[in-house]
Amino acid sequence: MKDIKICVIGLGYVGLPLARLFSTKYPTVGFDMNQSRVNELMTGHDCTGEVNDKMLQEAIKRKHLICTTDLEEIRKCNFYVVAVPTPVDENNRPDLCPLWGASETVGKVISKGDVVVYESTVYPGVTEEECIPVVERVSGLVYNQDFFAGYSPERINPGDKEHTVEKIRKVTSGSTPEVANLVDDIYNSVLVNGTHKAPSIKVAEASKIIENSQRDVNIAFMNELAKIFNAMNIDTQDVIEAAATKWNFIKLKPGLVGGHCISVDPYYLIQKAQVYGVLPRVMFAARRLNDGMGEYVAEQVIKCMNKKGILVKDARILILGITFKENCPDIRNTKIVDIYSTLSEYTTNITVYDPWADIETVKREYNIDVTNVLSESDKYNAVVLGVAHSCFSDLDIKSLVENNGIVYDVKGVLPRDIIDGRL
């Protein structure tokens, strides 16, 4: 492995941490089509917060990591890793355009004997049925004769400072036994907790997509329970605490399912299953239930306001947080937007406060005005804690509420004596 030179294509939440990690052992080039993103990284700053600026600056200063938009800079690499997004379209159908584009990029620079490994979450078969043919067409090379492939699904958890990329146990695979060993060895060389070598690329692909689908289904069950118990005027979290005293009860909480993984990836398997004549009823129902939870929360807020005689029309409402999860700037598929949209049908006096979110990005993506600074002198008819950022624990939330106002806790982290409702 002395002559390995790695290229990571896609420098987002997945690609950049991986590129930085690989650069500790191998010459590594990070490639991205976004010039402003590359410029930012080369100054030693990562706006996603996934890579510590000091670590990034050290890697760049020592020239172990270079970020670029120039194809010529990656032509001399021989181990290509694709880490681009795999979104869905407006009809929740898999959008493989980023993968096809990345595969074209690989095809333009790949040489005989090189390996391309995909990390993007896909349904079983995408690597060899959708991506590799693109590489073959563009490069003119023959798969498993001139070049080889692998699949190692990403397991990045945005904002998680405990399960960082070097500590994650990775699944690996390869298109031949020899390449599977090579891919496994390279990943093993930079990981603290090693790897699990899957018997095939399709098995590795399937393993990733069921990780997120399982979580989606489990959360959907808890959300359904929350709806049932709320209708019965029973506190869901009290029920969970009681049930959790049994040794084999799996303790989970209801909540909003956003982000680029759990709220998206199941659709890939749902569509592929139907191609094979299987209707994935449980997965489909879970997706539909979880996608509707933002609107449900808004309706619960309105219900709490009505009980206190607060006029919802033109009410002053504060939403704390808009990112899809705590202590993270990622706003992809955030369900806080659904809360905002439902409440905005009744009032335009909604303030969204989130010190983690990029104001311009939120405005561009959702046309919602967000503030990074909160005036504690302002008072609201309702305060909704949507995201459990650590910084919110320092807020005197009750002081933000007018007399007879309400506090609704989506995350179930606030003291019971200050809230009027929680999921």
> Catalytic amino acids?
261
The C-alpha atoms of residue 173 and residue 143 are separated, in whole angstroms, by 15
How far, in Å, CA of 44 to CA of 244, rounded? 45
For residue 218, how far is the Cα from the chain centroid? 17
Q: Which two three-digit tokens encode residue 243? A: 């049930």
Q: Is the separation of the CB atoms in 57 and 1 below 8 Å?
A: no
Residue 407 — φ and ψ, nearest 5°?
Answer: -120, 125
Question: Going by C-beta distance under 8 Å and a sequence separation of 6 or more, which residues neighbour residue 46?
Answer: 16, 40, 53, 56
